[in-house]
Structure 1
Amino acid sequence: MSEKQTLDTTYNPRTVEDKWYQYWEEQGYFHQEVDPDREPFCIVIPP
């Protein structure tokens, strides 16, 4: 490891988050199915 790597001084979310958002959509992570036999709920403040 004799080569030096330089890191960006600021975080650019577009370089990372666009890729992941597309992956999440392709995997169906935002898809939901309604089960009429279960009581609906809402998460007010996620962890």
Structure 2
Amino acid sequence: QKTRETVTALARLDMPGAIRSLNVSNAAAVSLYAARKFLSED
């Protein structure tokens, strides 16, 4: 709850199956990979 009070935005990567969400380091890695791939598509 304290995190929700102090941040301006929240993000979540939902996963199918038993694992419902990735931890922060994995979510950051996936997000950065996707952003780099998106930005390199010219």
Q: Where on the TM-score scale, by shorter chain, does this alignment land: which range?
A: 0.3 to 0.5
**TM-score (structure 1 length as normaliser):** 0.33
Which structure has the larger Rg over C-alpha atoms? 1
More helix by share: 2
